[in-house]
Amino acid sequence: MVTEAALLVTGASGHLGRRALELLLGRGAKRIIAATRTPDTLADFAARGVEVRRADFDDPASLKSAFASADRLLLISTDAVGQQGRRLNQHRNAIQAAEAVGVRHVVYTSLVNPVDTPVTLAPDHAGTEAALEASPLGWTVLRNSIYAEGLVDAVRRAAESGIWASAVGAGRCAYVTREDCAQAAAAALAGSFERRRTLDITGPAALSGEDLARIAGSLSGKPVQFTPLPASVLLGYMVGAGLPQPFAELLASFDDGIAQGRFSSVSTAVADLTGRPPISVETFLASQRGISA
């Protein structure tokens, strides 16, 4: 069934936002609004009938103008990562603007287990979920697991070195592809659910470091051994390789979260929302250039 509701996507110039727009067009949505700081970057979608509006998350007035007349809104978490308090404030601005102009339902892209986790960006998600809870809005919180795309370079390095080194210990993670996150978000936005729900968006299986080493070896045709590292050692390696300290700390905190079991749950939400199962890590990696033998 094609929805008649006005569907708005924030962060529409980003990877997830652009893909969500594409999927909404494919669904035949009647009215799609794209909100972005840089409207010129969405000229291709404007030519296809998408209404493009300027929105600055640091400017509440611009958000009210951008969100006006929208019925359902996809709030993609912003890119202000590591900027003390800014990202959460941006999300609060969006929620307040949505409430002010009469948006009925907000779909928010969060993180699995945002409250009890060592992941450094999690407090922004926990705070945003709390702001939604305190609002009168209907909402769907999509708690995305860790992106499988983050494994691609690691698999290539492992194929070259024969070592899969990480600080996940015996932990497991149900890695999910960006495509599945976009599919789930578009389906939730275009759906008719009006109340409140929280869904974990995960891949089909929770994988260990040993599993990833096996997959890397199988795809590359070379032996790969899993080598567990202390988080402090991993952090030192990344900083020594030139990564900025805050980014290295973020990556290490994801490994720490996996080691603590915060990403091990597997849900059926992708299939429930989209009607098709999520993509497996092995299938996804096999599709990436320069990995398969």
Residue 277 pLDDT grade (very low, low, confident, very high; cuts 50, 70, 90):
very high
Does position 291 have pLDDT exceeding 80, yes or no? no
Angle at 113 between CA 109 and CA 118, to 5 degrees: 110
Please state the rounded mean pLDDT for residues 233-239. Answer: 90
Residue 290: is its pLDDT beyond 90? Answer: no
Statement: the pTM of the whole predicted model exceeds 0.75: yes
Mean pLDDT of 89-95: 98
Residue 113's pLDDT is 96
pLDDT of residue 164: 94
Give yes or no for residue 147 having a pLDDT over 60: yes
User: Is residue 177 pLDDT above 80, yes or no?
Assistant: yes
| Amino acid identity, position 133 | E
Per-chain mean pLDDT for the chain: 95
Per-domain residue ranges of the chain: 6-144+178-201+265-278
Between these two residues, 56 and 4, which has the higher pLDDT value? 56
Strand partners, 8: 33, 73
Q: How many CB atoms lie within 10 A of CB 199?
A: 20
Q: How confident is the model at residue 171 (pLDDT cuts 50, 70, 90)?
A: very high
What is the arithmetic mean of pLDDT over 138-159? Answer: 95
Strands 172-173 and 138-144: unpaired
Fold classified for 6-144+178-201+265-278: Rossmann fold (3.40.50)
pLDDT surpassing 80 at residue 82 = no
- Those residues whose C-beta lies under 8 Å from the C-beta of residue 123, and which sit 6 or more positions away, are 88, 114
Query: CA-to-CA distance for 81 and 33, rounded, in angstroms?
Result: 25
Average pLDDT over residues 254-271: 97
Task: Tell me the three state secondary structure of residue 107.
Answer: strand
> Going by C-beta distance under 8 Å and a sequence separation of 6 or more, which residues neighbour residue 282?
215, 218, 219
Q: Is the pLDDT of residue 95 over 60?
A: yes
Q: Taking 60 as the threshold, does the pLDDT of residue 1 lie above it? A: no
Residue 55 in contact with residue 97, Cβ under 8 Å? no
- According to the model, what pLDDT value does residue 33 have? 99
pLDDT band, very low/low/confident/very high, at 241 (cuts 50, 70, 90): confident
Q: Which of 9-13, 121-125, 183-187, 238-242 has the lowest mean pLDDT?
A: 238-242
Strand-by-strand arrangement of the 6-9 sheet: 51-54, 31-36, 6-9, 72-75, 105-111, 138-144, 196-201
Q: Cα(130)–Cα(108) distance, rounded to whole angstroms?
A: 12
